[in-house]
Structure 1
Amino acid sequence: MEKFHGALVAIVTPFIDGKLDEQGLVDLIEFQIENGTHGIIPCGTTGESATTNFDEHKRVIDLTVKTVAGRIPVIAGTGANNTLEALELTESAKESGADAVLSVVPYYNKPDQEGMYLHFKTIAEKVDIPMFLYNVPGRTVVSIDPVTVGRLAQLDNIIGIKEATGSLAQFSEVIANCPDDFIVLSGDDFTSMPSVMIGGKGVISVISNVYPLGMAQMMERALAGDIPGARELHYKMYDMMKLMFSTPSPGPAKKALELMGRIQDGSTRLPIAPMADGAVEKLKEGMVKLGLL
């Protein structure tokens, strides 16, 4: 399997008493590698990048790179709605030795397509590191147009996109507008298996936090053309995919990891509130069904 393909985990950032749990992060990375995950994405949305400060953000990426030690790729989340901040985080990720970066469409500002183009172009030209764009309009409000993605795909350092609209039509348009070697990854667990059928190369996954082996096997089967085998795993995991977003993410993923004994503290930073008791019980039921508890 080629680099930057398959099941890549958008890994959670564990905290203890509100502070970064470094040993917890190291243990989670080892758990992922032992269970076949094809890549690690620190400081993505699931890693609570929006509520980590710059020092924490850089430390998580640095520690991830050192722990992985070249065994699988590390794609560091370095996006921001301020181009200068995104540049600083991208430069830091390069210094840490990340294999690539993941840069989200600027949120809150509501830039137009030219603003998005210039934002990503500026970063790609100033920092020599492979970059994945990240389109997630459910969080950013604005969406990058497939034609704009096609323009950006002509730049040397922009090698792919995490497409998280949940739309296979959008996914198809992106592929149609980009070169054959442009890497389009699903940003949704639900669409990861079917996206391979139309040219996708993998997924940046949330459920991989708790069930890395299943997600890795599903993507390997899909990419190898074993559609019945991939479909079987898709439906096996489908209920848990939904449960990962039963309350605001990454709350369910972190609570599940706590229940599994993989991290000490499954809490999230505000404004993501703790899961209600009823939601936790439903999560437990799903985990038992999948054999995680």
Structure 2
Amino acid sequence: MADIAMSNFRGASQDAPKTASSEPARTPTVVVDDVHIVYKVHGAGSGKGSATSALSRLIAKKRSPAIREVHAVRGLSFTAYKGEAVGLIGSNGSGKSTMLAAIAGLLPTAKGAIYTNGQPSLLGVNAALMNDLTGDRNVILGCLAMGMTPKEVESRYQEIVDFSGINEKGDFISLPMRTYSSGMAARLRFSIAAAKTHDVLLIDEALATGDQKFQKRSEARIRELRKEAGTVFLVSHNNNAIRDTCERTIWIEKGELMMDGHTDEVVREYEKHNRA
């Protein structure tokens, strides 16, 4: 698991030197310190990665194909603060989603450390819902899994359904999740996650799914989450969603930090890089 060291993190923030600045002190929520993440790919380059070939090797007692290491994140360092919405941009395979998973504690770091002040919650469009259960059961179970009480779930249930827009064209909330399109499932997933105030909310491409009306609702909800306390990280290939939602953006390319600053400046440089 990623190195989550709350006591060390709090101690470090308390020991920070005080300055005479008139600006109010900001509260760090995530510190990424020289993080490296390495994947091990089995059978890379062999052309024999199927289950059938693996079984044949076991029967023949042959060695498995070579293991190749992929250095997905290379020495990333940054600090995020309470109330911030931080965009993560970069080309496909640049390490954005990998970085989110590491902050959530789902991936180990090969080197460096990640410190969080609060519990990170990862929301991705590929996160599995229970397809054999109805949408309403998934709403209830999802909210309970996030730590909401039964009374809180009951009070927020209709708001979650209305926000998702699942029932705008029929009573889909009472149907099994397997009958949903990928867009419907993603909208419901976002609606469930956004029903609770999170210490650190990690969103992977959630705003890329759904019609323009739902995207606007999502952006507005992220702004509310920021005001209510948490820090939001957003990974998206939709630069307009990043501009509309995030004041700060981090550009990652080939696992390395390219730029970290005001969203307009970073996105402008990123788009210029892609046109070159």
TM-score calculated relative to the size of structure 1: 0.39
Which structure has greater helix proportion? 1
Larger radius of gyration: 2
TM-score, normalising length: structure 2 = 0.41
